[in-house]
Chains A and B, each alone.
Chain A
Amino acid sequence: MIKTLLKSVRQYKKASLASPLLVTVEVIIECFLPLVMAMVIDSMSGNSMTPILKYGLMLVIMAMFSLLFGVLAGREAATASCGFAKNLRQDMYFKIQDFAFADMDKFSTSSLVTRMTTDVTNVQNAYQMIIRAAIRTPLMMIFSVIMSMTINVKMACIFLVTIPVLGIALFGIVLYVHPIFKRIFKKYDAMNNSVQENIAGIRVVKSFVREDYEAKKFGKASEDVRKDFTRAEKILAFNNPVMMFCIYMSMLLISYFGARIIIGTGAVSLTTGELSSLISYGVQILAAMMVLSMVFVMTIMAEESANRIAEVLTQESSLQSPENGIRKVKNGKIDFENVSFCYSKASKKKALSNINLTINPGETIGIIGGTGSAKTTLIQLISRLYDVTEGSVKVGGIDVRKYDLEALRNEVAVVLQKNVLFSGTIKENLRWGKKDADEEELIRVCRLAQADEFIQQFPKKYDTYIEQGGTNVSGGQKQRLCIARALLKKPKILILDDSTSAVDTKTDALIRKAMSEEIPDTTKIIIAQRVSSVEDADKIIVMDGGRIAQQGTHRQLLAADGIYREVYDSQTRSKEVE
């Protein structure tokens, strides 16, 4: 997982390496500071100003360097961590762009957004901690111990006792708390999820008068979070007192033994100045350990986020464009040969089974069937949005897996059932179909899709701004814009997946008429709920439970006693009554 993430450091490798190096220099200087300070203190009891000024000047110079390196290290660390975060977000985003439909089904939109924002921020903070604090603190400890050794080996041994005591205590606490924190995050997510659902479903809550019920439910979730969080924090609360205890303990021990040595040797093997710097080193060492344990906690907290990011980054697209794939689609002929399909390998239930079907270029095919009868699944195989599990789908006589993906999808245009317009002008949205389309072309396809008329009524016409999610146009208008967008591609095969459900029957008929007149060579596949949308198709396919239940023309199917007739009857019942 760490390896996967580190691949995203790239151009910030230099900053990522420079930062710990600069920190190292800064730490070394900082470790010499107490030593020089000790010299200043010692020269206090002398009888000349010269050594004070000398050491003072040295201190100033060291402080300048320490400042320089500290500032540089801080800046490099900022660049490295922010850059790393930038690359992580970009890599994830690019990865998702390569996802096949099957991969997208695995992640929800909101989870992808969280992964790219909150999770990356967590990792970014941990990374910054690691390249600064995690380098700084152990170095600080090592240097401080070495420096105190040079002052007095015997005295430095005190640290060799207190360091392990503190170390064991701190890491014991962290290890104990870790599983609790993991649990907390789950509960925390659950609590936030319930808030989100409540906000989204507030109309439902209010109309069922479930305010109290919801408040109680939330109260329970928040109490759960409080309990666990309090427990974890109470344990973490030992950190600070334990550290204080160790610091005070070492200070007392150093004072006691130090005093004995100074007095015993007549200030020869240890001076008062050295005593005070020993104490500063002691504080430095133990405080460093404290920071280290905090880094440890932060890293553990970021671990979950890192895992979630790695999950996206390692998700290999289950559907790849073949190398040197065929770029030319001969015509709009479609063949399904013994096609079966499952959405996942684990599921035993086949979404499609044993489909055999031939569609000739220029034909209009209607597909009809109940909720969950796999109509959408069937057509998604044509532009290779999913790969078949068994059998093969051919376009223009060649298996779709042999085509270059982009070439295939440019020739097979699908207007999805759950369709989306993006924030931007109508023009910009339409040009998704063809980047360099000129105004005339835009108007032509909009006429075809019966969209030009209402666009002309907008004050800004084709420059009308579409809000995010297309909320400022009606459902029917949105659908027609989506059809126009697909038409702009001039595809050999056009698939409309329930794309006119919000359009009235008359306009629906006009669209179909325009298409059969203007683009007669294009193979057209229309999925619809309304019988009227498919009745004049060359062939109608009735889907039921992942199989083709019936096929034929409107006339043939009406004559047969089957699902098609039932549907027809249910939609025209009252017309017959009249």
Chain B
Amino acid sequence: MSRTKEKRSKGNFRRLIGYLFSHFKLRLTIVCICIIISACASVVATVFLQRLIDECITPGITSGLEAVWPKLISLLGTMAAFYACGVAAALIYTRLMATVTQGTLKHMRNDMFDRMQTLPLRYFDTHIHGDIMSTYTNDTDAIRQLIGQSLPLMLQSSLTVIAIIFMMIYFSIWLTLIVIFFMIIMLTVTKKLGGESSKYMMKQQKALAKEEGYIEEMMNGQKVIKVFCHEEESKKGFIKLNEQLFSDSQRANKMGNVLMPTLGNIGNLMYVFIAGIGGIMVFEKAVNISLTGTDLITAGIIISFLSMARQLSQTIGQVSMQVSLVAMGIAGAGRVFELMDQKPEEDHGYVTLVKAEKNSEGQLTETDHATGLWAWRHPHSSDGTVTYTELKGDIRMEHVDFGYVPEKTVLHDISLYAKPGQKIAFVGATGAGKTTITNLINRFYDIPDGKIRYDGINITKIRKPDLRRSLGVVLQDVNLFTGTVMENIRYGKLDATDEECIAAAKLANADDFITRLPDGYDTVLTGNGSSLSQGQRQLISIARAAVADPPAMILDEATSSIDTRTEALVQEGMDNLMKGRTVFVIAHRLSTVRNSDAIMVLDHGRIIERGNHDELIAQKGTYYQLYTGAFELE
């Protein structure tokens, strides 16, 4: 199993690199070149000292300063030139990387968000919102670390390591073997400690998530805790989780903190070994084998070897600090790609909604100005003709069965028709399938062909955006967006004027309380309108739907938190607005549905009674029992 995991993470890594290059090919190429230059400069710096000592200082001591002066100046000059290149290259690549990193993150976020907008509701039902959120925050943060910091550093470090090893072989193969031996030890230690640290890091993440969940639940119920004087128990539960988190994070951090000194001192040990064995070789006049051939080993060689060894162990130390960051970055990239790979909502519709007007013969034609008249534009692929059907709001369902998951059917054999201008109500217990029916009408969920028709057109043929534009929806759980009240109402119709928005608010009976807010319509709402009462938020959401002026409307428990007096006023306004249009109403309160043209009583996904209020009362069935309070709605 761990092998497939490894494979996957390699795949994700490759894909991440591909993603980087697809947006910033030229810049990344320059970055790579600059990193190579900068790595070379830093390696050359190490060798430089040996040449200085062997070629200038040692001969200089005997022959005097004047003799080595030109050599000294030319050496220093060459070095300065190398260094200048190194600094310039570093400057270029770090600055370019800033652009590349942030640019890539932006593309990534936008790609994720764009894809997310196309996903079916099913995705949001089956994923915890906090998890989706953390893809945008924690995971992109981890990726930022990875591409902005770890990748360039790792690239530079590995180049440095390779260059140093080559230089070492150039100087002495025997001593290089010692270095390689110690490098293997260092890598093993890194793998062991780093792996252990990553393991506890994951545990820590888990413990943190658990504690976060607990805090969230308790904070949500904080007022209940107060009312029941339950503070001590809630503290006890917290302490337990907090201790767990502490012990996991302590372990993870200990492992991480220990790594650096351990590697550093293995490096010191290596230093001693090289010095000792090198010394013996010098004194025993051992034959050195190097790329330049066989020769006697000199003190100068060992000195530069020592400083190279030191640089090597420092470089490995730096890389080791990146291990867990890289792992986290790749895991984050995996989740980001997973979101990007989600299958978008399918839409094979081709019938569109257009503004229309009637010509003198009463025929429908397409127009570009608002006439209040809408038509379905229905192109026929067989003969290339286009027909127009007036949008009326005639909705029919025929023998619809549906389940969110294949194993569990929630709707059984639902048939209904809503004639244009009718108000259709659904009544039934929680889970009876009321909301499901409306979810099918606006195709939040799809059913097999042909069972739902809108103005006689099979709704699978209608493009989803056009279908949804023809249906206003007001939901029980109100979602408002950060912005002014005016902007929130305008959400229903983006080009609505202030006057239109205010008119809609008046219609929803919201104008009254809005004008009493500190800044009236310009009051900024945050946190889903948390400064407003539930009822006030519902009024705004009704205004938002009203300004859209949709041909048909679904009201799903839209007035449940509004007091009955206000509700009566809202209803009056809505009835005026929706005159001649189809309305679906879902409500708990029977006073809300009483004046509907048809009431469907649902039970476990079946329609068990239908008719208008008077008919149903006369039937003396479930509705009658509900109405007289002899039966409970849940």
Contacts and interface: CB of A to CB of B under 8 A. Distances in A.
A371 B243 contact: no
Interface in A512-545: 529-530
B249 A192 contact: no
B397 interface: no
Nearest to B345: A206
A279 interface: yes
Nearest to B227: A414
A477 B242 contact: no
Nearest to B54: A272
B497 interface: no
A219 B117 CA distance: 12
A192 B136 contact: yes
A485 B221 CA distance: 14
B91 A237 contact: yes
A202 B126 CA distance: 13
A99 interface: yes
Contacts of B105: 226, 229
B106 A223 contact: yes
Interface stretch (A160-168, A208-216, A353-361, A436-444): A208-216
Nearest to A218: B113
Given A33-B268, A71-B261, A74-B260, A262 B246 contact: no
A241 B90 contact: yes
A197 B482 contact: yes
Contacts of B52: 255, 259
A113 interface: yes
Contacts of A202: 121, 124
B283 A197 contact: no
Interface string B170-201: 00000000000000000000000000000000
8 contacts: A53-B276, A78-B254, A96-B222, A109-B220, A113-B216, A198-B116, A222-B109, A238-B94
B72 A410 contact: no
A423 interface: yes
Contacts of B276: 52-53, 56
B430 A93 contact: no
Main DSSP-derived SS at the B contact region: helix
A306 to B, nearest CB: 19
Nearest to A212: B117
A47 interface: yes
B533 A432 contact: no
Interface string B115-140: 01110010010000100110011000
Nearest to B221: A420
Interface string B472-507: 110100011110000000011010000000000000
Contacts of A245: 83, 87
Contacts of B632: 476, 503-504, 506-507
A506 B492 contact: no
A388 B48 CA distance: 80
A112 interface: yes
Given A197-B481, A204-B475, A262-B57, A44 B282 contact: yes
Interface in A89-112: 89-90, 93-94, 96-101, 104, 108-110, 112
Interface string A66-92: 110111011101110111011001100
B33 interface: no
Contact of A260 (B65, B110, B269, B282): B65
Interface stretch (A148-156, A333-341, A395-403, A567-575): A567-575
Contact of A416 (B132, B227, B468): B227
Interface stretch (A35-43, A138-146, A547-555): A35-43
A327 B602 CA distance: 52
Contacts of A556: none
A300 B543 CA distance: 45
A2 interface: no
Given A192-B137, A276-B303, A416 B223 contact: yes
A70 B212 contact: no
Given A78-B250, A237-B91, A420-B224, A90 B242 contact: yes
B303 A44 contact: yes
Contacts of A574: 591, 594, 613
A263 B275 contact: no
Contact of B101 (A55, A233, A468): A233
A251 to B, nearest CB: 7
Contacts of A383: 227
A406 interface: yes
Contacts of A562: none
Contacts of B626: 504
Contacts of A101: 223, 226
B17 interface: no
A108 B88 CA distance: 49
Contact of A67 (B242, B256, B261, B280): B261
A56 B227 contact: no
A273 B74 CA distance: 23
B564 interface: yes
A213 B494 contact: yes
Nearest to A262: B57
B106 A234 contact: no
Interface in A273-317: 273, 275-276, 279-280
B629 to A, nearest CB: 4
B242 to A, nearest CB: 6
Interface string B424-448: 0000011100000000001010000
Contacts of A248: 45, 80, 83, 86-87
Contact of B106 (A198, A222, A237, A280): A222
Interface string B38-63: 10000001001100110011101100
A128 to B, nearest CB: 7
Given A116-B215, A420-B220, A570-B568, A371 B468 contact: no
Contacts of A324: none
B222 A104 contact: yes
B231 interface: yes
A75 B246 contact: no
Interface string B219-259: 11111111111110011001100110110011001101110
A575 B76 CA distance: 104
Given A109-B222, A196-B129, A372-B535, 15 more contacts: A74-B256, A96-B219, A97-B225, A109-B216, A193-B482, A194-B482, A203-B444, A206-B468, A230-B102, A244-B38, A244-B90, A255-B79, A259-B72, A476-B633, A567-B563
Contacts of A209: 465, 468-469
A112 B215 contact: yes
A230 B103 contact: yes
Interface string B562-593: 11111010000000000000000000100100
A207 B471 CA distance: 8
A541 to B, nearest CB: 15
B136 A241 contact: no
A502 interface: yes
B151 interface: no
A409 B280 contact: no
Interface string A469-497: 10000111100000001000100000000
B133 A237 contact: no
Nearest to A97: B231
Contacts of A416: 223-224, 227
Contact of A422 (B53, B217, B303): B217
Contacts of A190: 482
Nearest to A83: B246
Instruction: Sort A-B residue pairs by CB-CB distance and give the 4 closest, nearest first.
Output: A70-B261, A74-B257, A201-B479, A505-B629
Contact of A70 (B61, B246, B260): B260
Given A215-B114, A370-B563, A506-B631, A75 B279 contact: no
B365 interface: no
Contacts of A205: 117
Given A66-B268, A414-B227, A474 B430 contact: yes
Given A70-B261, A113-B212, A280 B310 contact: yes
B479 A40 contact: no
B258 A75 contact: yes
